[in-house]
Amino acid sequence: MNDLFTYAKQLMVFGVILCICVAGIKPSIAKYTANSHAETTSKNKSIAVKSANIALPDLSTHPGIEVGGLKANWGETIILDAGSATGTFKDMCVFPYKVDIWNLGTAHTGAFEYRLKAGPWSILEGHPGLSAGGFTQAQGHIGLKPGKQEVIIGLDNMNQIVELNENNNIPQAVTIKLKGNCFSLQPYFKDKSARNAKSFSEYK
């Protein structure tokens, strides 16, 4: 009987000690959790601040494009006379184009590509890059079919560049209305290499 009483007494003492230990641990856990959360929040804020201060490029083709000597802002329409084309190629009239490309960011872009597309015609052109605040005028020739079509440009075609604003890389377009036909004009590649002709005609 005495042994049973002693055993019960020991259990009570153990229970009291356990309760005291648990009571001490809970505040410690809560304190650790709070400190850990505060530390994580502080680190995230620090990373965000550092990210905000990172110099990044920002490509843009604002405000538009020039085709066949006529300029238009993105979203507008250009009306061309097929007879004023530089020449013909297959069933297309060939016109010169110019487009201003800016780096509005705070860092060099590195090499990038832009795609110019008009109906079934498309070309992918490379550029060695632009310094912060830099500007270049990309130019070449574009194949247009008689009738109505969109001329579309997309910058950083392969999404290789991390930029301050990715939204101004969304393809921009102007509408071209090409009247008449250019069949009486000389072939554009008459005195040019077959290699250039093939490159111009292939959809890339």
Q: Among 13, 30, 53, give the residue marking a domain's end.
A: 53
Least confident of 24-28, 104-108, 169-173: 24-28
Taken in order 135, 104, 140, 128, the sign of the CA dihedral is positive
State the average pLDDT over residues 59-78. Answer: 95
- Please state, in angstroms and rounded to a whole number, the distance separating the CA atoms of residues 170 and 72: 18
* 44 plus 107 within the same structural domain: no
Which pLDDT tens digit goes with each residue over 39-68? 544 444 334 433 456 899 999 998 899 999
Which pLDDT tens digit goes with each residue over 142-178? 999 999 999 999 998 778 888 988 877 788 999 999 9
* 48 plus 135 within the same structural domain: no
* 45 plus 24 within the same structural domain: yes
State the average pLDDT over residues 14-21. Answer: 46
> pTM of the predicted model, to two decimals?
0.69
